[in-house]
Structure 1
Amino acid sequence: MYKTQMEAAKKGILTPEMKRVAEKEFMNPDILMERVAKGEIAIPANINHKSLMAEGVGNGLSTKVNVNLGISRDCPDVDKELEKVKKAIDMKVEAIMDLSSFGKTEEFRKKLIAMSTAMIGTVPVYDAIGFYDKELKDITSDEFLEVVRKHAKDGVDFVTIHAGMNREAMEVFKRNKRLTNIVSRGGSLMYAWMELNNAENPFYERYDELLDICEEYDLTLSLGDALRPGCTKDATDAAQIKELITLGELTLRAWERNVQVMIEGPGHMAIDEIEANVKLQKRLCHGAPFYVLGPLVTDIAPGYDHITSAIGGAIAASAGVDFLCYVTPAEHLRLPDLEDMKEGIIATKIAAHAADIAKKVPYARDWDDKMSKARADIDWETMFSLAIDEEKARRYRKESTPEHEDTCTMCGKMCSMRTMKKIMSGEDLNILRD
């Protein structure tokens, strides 16, 4: 009947995944199906990911949050990363990207896919060096594609593929000097491979074969921004825009094959450039869902980049970005631990929710209205239950207990909520008296 969600939508078939997304997002199923058919909404759902609770990314839907995990040479502990997976799922993230680059990558990926209700993404080029136990230069074009097939067969829902950095884009990059060169890990690996072998990017050169794999497993392409800016100075430069133009062309080719696409974006970027970048991406990439890392709006805050990212993410998502990749306090410093991950998720969820209010996502504001009523009523239990981080809210109140239950230690009996509640209900106001 159909191979991919996009093909089903074009044929007017409402899949179980579409039904779930429509119900969750309070969207008319016919409108959802129309937008999936156009490519404005992607539902990453590999046919082999059996535990998946499908999510939609794109036009008119709530802003989704991704968490990066994975083992590395310095931190190869599979069980420790699986603890993070469990926590991320408990915190209801919509996506987890496995960025494993060393060690038991296949073991971790298969366990992750088996247990995860969230959609799973990978960057296959990260896995290639360890999988083949070869130096980068010696990996063949065939082998790069075979790793993608392996990930697809395992059940990965979307893959980051840096197909837009072709030889033309490399020349533009070389002619336009940057402060931080190429900061994308996958992008730098592909650039190095192309230079070392004096060859074209295999994912660009053999794009149709890549689409064959995607179509077979309903694998969504997340077209990576190999030339994204790694500092605010490099943002919106010639190399970034050249790659974006190519990604738009590759998007149309994928849609012709009924392969779903998301476009990845910057990166580091000054606040005043964010909205224009979102509009440019949406125009050049024909309304495809936009997935950004940050953007980080300043380069001076190692240890606090979850904040710099949340600022940029809220602005980007309110301007039309559909999917935010979290950034943790450990960004630029080390592999995040469990607490770093939690702080990154919370910061990114705040950014996503703030944007959803601005985007008029159905019922997004209701959460805030319920919290505001609980504050007006001085209903602490309801406030805690509605908090984005209930544990922290409860802990903060417990650590500084007020003399009177209907106050906190900031304002005491001068609390404005307490004052107005008493006066508006006709009660006497006692601030100094017991």
Structure 2
Amino acid sequence: ENPFYEAFDDILEICAAHDVALSLGDGLRPGCLYDATDEAQLSELRVLGELTLRAWEKNVQVMIEGPGHIPLNQIEYNMKIERELCHGAPFYVLGPLPTDIGAGYDHITSAIGGTMAAFYGASMLCYVTPKEHLGLPNANDVREGIVAHKIAAHAADVALGKAGAIERDHAMSDARYAFDWNRQFELSLDPERARELHDESLPQESFKKAEFCSMCGPKFCAYKISKNLMKEKNVK
């Protein structure tokens, strides 16, 4: 019943002529944990693998869409079976969501699964918003979803030892130790939000040079206490 499937060879001819890459979707991906990694999902993945080879024969690039709703203990397998059945074609995942009860917070649910998926080989994360399963997202929902998945992708890059990934984290540690608040905002994945939350309790510009935040205050900041102790002992 899928006209794109029936006319796939014709579509490939058009894509090859215009250098268009294809995203091969998975209409049978699991929409809940009940259906995770079932035979319908895997059968479709085999078909996507066949379509991948047909596309490559026509010199058309493809990427494969993945699940979906997958419990944490099945995410590694899903990444590996895609590489096997789809011949190493790039895999992008919708989350995956490792629980079905995160309504209103599914950007977090998705980022949890997405971190594992990226660590085990997903090529791209498709962001999910807080409005997922509840309604059409607005601009702020989209923003929150994108930031959550940037965090997930970066966490996976750090764990995988991707070149340059952890340097940003090290720079943040240095900025925190130096109480360089503006530098901390710049290094954050969402600088605007970081600055906004800091300024809720310490809005004056002078606090951008303060050696504390509102969490521990000037007397109990661990960084400040540590720096003072090292100064006393002349430790650099």
Q: CA deviation at 1:358?
A: 1.7
Residue in structure 1 matched with residue 220 of structure 2 by the alignment:
414
Whichever structure has more helix as a proportion of its residues is: 2
Residue in structure 2 matched with residue 347 of structure 1 by the alignment:
148
Mapped to 1, the partners of 2:143 and 2:80 lie a distance apart of: 31
Residue in structure 2 matched with residue 268 of structure 1 by the alignment:
69
Tell me the secondary structure at the aligned position of residue 356 of structure 1.
Answer: helix
Residue in structure 2 matched with residue 241 of structure 1 by the alignment:
42
Mapped to 1, the partners of 2:5 and 2:184 lie a distance apart of: 51
> RMSD between aligned alpha carbons?
1.7
Mapped to 2, the partners of 1:397 and 1:205 lie a distance apart of: 56
Superposition pairs for residues 23-422 of structure 1, below 5 Å? 194=1, 201-401=2-202, 405-412=210-217, 413-422=219-228
Letter in 1 for 2:142: M
The CA deviation string for residues 302-343 of structure 1, in whole angstroms up to 9 with x for no partner, is 111000000000110011001111100111111111111110
Mapped to 2, the partners of 1:425 and 1:314 lie a distance apart of: 40
Q: CA deviation at 1:203?
A: 2.2
Tell me the secondary structure at the aligned position of residue 56 of structure 2.
Answer: helix
Q: CA deviation at 1:361?
A: 1.6
Mapped to 1, the partners of 2:150 and 2:65 lie a distance apart of: 19
Tell me the secondary structure at the aligned position of residue 53 of structure 2.
Answer: helix
Mapped to 2, the partners of 1:388 and 1:236 lie a distance apart of: 33
The CA deviation string for residues 262-300 of structure 1, in whole angstroms up to 9 with x for no partner, is 000000110110011000001111111001110011111
- Asked whether the equivalents of residues 377 and 421 of structure 1 are also in contact (C-alpha less than 8 Å), the reply is no
- Mark the runs of 5 or more structure 2 residues left unpaired by the alignment: none
Mapped to 2, the partners of 1:213 and 1:425 lie a distance apart of: 69
The CA deviation string for residues 95-150 of structure 1, in whole angstroms up to 9 with x for no partner, is xxxxxxxxxxxxxxxxxxxxxxxxxxxxxxxxxxxxxxxxxxxxxxxxxxxxxxxx
Mapped to 2, the partners of 1:222 and 1:418 lie a distance apart of: 51
Structure 1 residue runs of 4+, over 4 Å off? none
Mapped to 1, the partners of 2:202 and 2:4 lie a distance apart of: 59
The CA deviation string for residues 159-201 of structure 1, in whole angstroms up to 9 with x for no partner, is xxxxxxxxxxxxxxxxxxxxxxxxxxxxxxxxxxx2xxxxxx3
Q: CA deviation at 1:205?
A: 2.4
Q: CA deviation at 1:202?
A: 2.5
Q: CA deviation at 1:377?
A: 1.5
Mapped to 1, the partners of 2:159 and 2:77 lie a distance apart of: 17
| TM-score normalized with structure 1 length | 0.51
Mapped to 1, the partners of 2:136 and 2:19 lie a distance apart of: 31
Mapped to 2, the partners of 1:350 and 1:224 lie a distance apart of: 25
Tell me the secondary structure at the aligned position of residue 29 of structure 2.
Answer: coil
Q: 1:426 aligns with which of 217, 232, 235?
A: 232
Mapped to 2, the partners of 1:358 and 1:255 lie a distance apart of: 32
Mapped to 1, the partners of 2:28 and 2:125 lie a distance apart of: 18
Greater relative contact order structure (CA < 8 Å, 6+ sep): 1
Letter in 2 for 1:409: S
Mapped to 2, the partners of 1:255 and 1:383 lie a distance apart of: 45
| TM-score normalized with structure 2 length | 0.93
Letter in 2 for 1:241: L
- Asked whether the equivalents of residues 263 and 291 of structure 1 are also in contact (C-alpha less than 8 Å), the reply is yes
Mapped to 2, the partners of 1:383 and 1:257 lie a distance apart of: 49
